[in-house]
Amino acid sequence: MGTVKKYKKQPKKISRIQDLDLSAIYSYRDYLRWEIEERLELIKGKVFQMAGPNTSHQRVSINISGELFQFLKRRKCEVFAAPFDVRLPVNSKKDKDIFTVVQPDICVVCDPEKIDFKGVIGAPDIVIEILSPSNNQKELKDKYEVYEEAGVREYWIVHPEERTIFRYILDDTGKFQPTPLLTVGDTVSSEVLPGIDLDLTEVFDFPEYH
C-alpha cells in the first residue's frame, strides 16, 4: 500500500506556528486562514518557516530589484519583491487544490494574466532567491524542484557572502540547465529580458560582515 498523506483538520483560528501540525499537508486555503506573524511558505503542502533576512541579503535584494525595476519601466514584464505570494498550482487553480505557495525574494512576471489581487498564480518567468545560512538547503533542493516542475524559465541563486550568482535556465525538455558561476567583475544577462546587463560589482557593492 502507498503512503497515506495526512491532511490536518485545523481550528478556526491559527495565530501561532506552534498551533500547526508540521507533519500534516496543508493547502493554500488553509494558509489564507492563518494569522501567524512569522512568514511561512508551503512546499508541496509542507510548512516551512522563513528566516529573517540579514543586512547583506537586504542590500542585494534592493540592488537587484532596483535595477530590474528601472529596466522594466514601460515594458510588459513586472518585478515583485518579497513578501509576495506566488502560488504554483498543478492541476487546479482552486485554493483548496494548491499546495505550493512560496515567497521568492524577487520574481519577474511577463504574463499579466498570472497577476491578481493575492499575488501571482503560475510560474514567474524569473525567480531570484538570495541565500542565507539558515535556508540554503530549502532554496537549493526543495525550491529547485518546484520551480522546475512549474516551468520557471530562469532560476537565479544569489550568495551574498560569497558574492556570486548561479543561474539555471529551463531547456526545451522542461529541465533546468546550469550556467557558469558569476561573481564580482562579471555581468548577468537574461534570455527572458534581452538587453539587461547587471553589473555584479554594483550588486555586491557593500561592506563585508562577520
Answer whether 103's CB lies under 8 Å from 53's CB. no
Cα pseudo-dihedral 189, 150, 40, 198, rounded to 10 = 0
Cis amide leading into 89 (omega within 30): no
Q: How do beta strands 154-159 and 126-130 pair?
A: parallel
**Unique residue bearing C-alpha cell 534570455:** 191
C-alpha span between 149 and 39 (Å, rounded): 24
What cell does 62 get? 534592493
Burial of 24 (0-12, 13-18, 19+ CB in 10 A): middle
> For 85-109, what is the mean pLDDT?
96
Domains of the chain by start residue, with CATH = 55-203 (3.90.1570.10)
C-alpha span between 103 and 201 (Å, rounded): 26
Over residues 170-181, the pLDDT tens digits come to 999 999 999 999
Sign (positive or negative) of CA dihedral 203, 119, 151, 153: negative
What is the residue-wise DSSP string for 169-196?
EE-TTS-EEE---EETT-EE--SSSTT-
Q: What is the pLDDT of residue 173?
A: 96
C-alpha span between 88 and 146 (Å, rounded): 8
Type of residue at 76 = K
What does the mean pLDDT of the chain come to? Answer: 89
Q: What is the pLDDT of residue 49?
A: 85
Q: What is the pLDDT of residue 182?
A: 97
Over residues 17-59, the pLDDT tens digits come to 888 888 899 999 999 999 888 889 999 999 988 877 888 999 9
